Chains A and B, each alone.
Chain A
Amino acid sequence: MHIHKFEKIWLIFGVTTLLVFLSVIGVSAFYLGNQPPSCLATINPEKVDTTAPFDKPGLNKVEGKEWDYELVYVASAFNYTPGEVEVPLGAKVKVLATTKDVVHGFNVAGTNINMMLEPGYISEYVTTFDKAGEYLIVCNEYCGAGHHMMSSMIKVVE
């Protein structure tokens, strides 16, 4: 099989570029801790309201952990609990969420907090809320007739 010299140059350049991309995201994910949300913990979706920490939705201060607060959400068709929350600027927060019924999305618009909520699983993401402002949470996975009405609000305040 004959390969033209220029095609070899192009493929070496292309493959090197792809390797650089993979190295950058690989180092960022595995050494700097920027993994996509991949929580392995499970929960009984029919007993969410009585299972910790989902029995206390909202912003809860925690001690002795790597993060200062836990921000807990319960999703069900077609709303999130809590519907609005204030987070102090600069707080390191673990966001935890789960669903009581069907699959929902959980995207804090304009941020990297973007995760799927699946019945039986807990989704979590740790981040530092370092920019003040009002952030809309939208459900971005179709969940039924009221899907586009399903939202919540995070206010990051000084």
Chain B
Amino acid sequence: MAQPGLEKKTSTKVEDQSSLKGTLASVFLLGFFLIITWVGVFLLFVNRF
């Protein structure tokens, strides 16, 4: 029973120490880049015969 308690403590510690706002913003920029390029080529596919 001591084990789950220990895990809980460590996970709060990690969350508190680090703000990962910039990481979240960065990966979302990456995600939008993936979407834009994919949609671009998909439109090319749709418009060609």
Residue ranges of A at the interface with B (Cβ–Cβ < 8 Å):
2, 4-6, 9-10, 13-14, 17, 21, 24, 110-113, 127-131
Q: Which of A5, A10, A24 is B28 in contact with, Cβ under 8 Å?
A: A10
Are the C-beta atoms of A6 and B24 separated by less than 8 Å? yes
**By DSSP majority rule, is chain A's interface helix, strand, loop, or mixed?**
mixed
Residues of B within 8 Å of A, CB-based: how many? 20
Are the C-beta atoms of B42 and A5 separated by less than 8 Å? no
CA distance A17 to B45 in the complex (A): 19
Are the C-beta atoms of A14 and B49 separated by less than 8 Å? no
Q: Which of A2, A24, A130, A131 is B42 in contact with, Cβ under 8 Å?
A: A24
**By DSSP majority rule, is chain B's interface helix, strand, loop, or mixed?**
helix
Residue ranges of B at the interface with A (Cβ–Cβ < 8 Å):
7, 10-11, 14-15, 18, 20-21, 23-24, 27-28, 31, 34-35, 38, 42, 45, 48-49
Q: When A and B form their complex, what is the total count of cross-chain residue pairs whose Cβ atoms lie within 8 Å?
A: 39
Are the C-beta atoms of A10 and B49 separated by less than 8 Å? no
Are the C-beta atoms of A17 and B35 separated by less than 8 Å? yes
Q: What distance in Å separates the Cβ of A115 from its nearest Cβ neighbour in chain B?
A: 14
A24 nearest in chain B by CB position: B42
Residues of chain B within 8 A of A131, CB atoms compared: 49
Residues of chain A within 8 A of B10, CB atoms compared: 2
Given contacts A111-B48, A111-B49, 20 further A-B contacts (CB under 8 A): A2-B10, A4-B18, A4-B20, A5-B15, A6-B20, A6-B21, A6-B23, A6-B24, A10-B24, A13-B28, A14-B31, A17-B34, A21-B38, A24-B42, A110-B48, A112-B49, A127-B49, A128-B49, A130-B49, A131-B49
Residues of chain A within 8 A of B20, CB atoms compared: 4, 6
CA distance A6 to B22 in the complex (A): 10
B20 nearest in chain A by CB position: A6
- What are 14 inter-chain pairs, A to B, with CB distance below 8 A? A2-B11, A2-B14, A4-B18, A4-B20, A6-B23, A6-B24, A10-B24, A13-B31, A17-B31, A112-B45, A112-B49, A113-B49, A129-B49, A130-B49
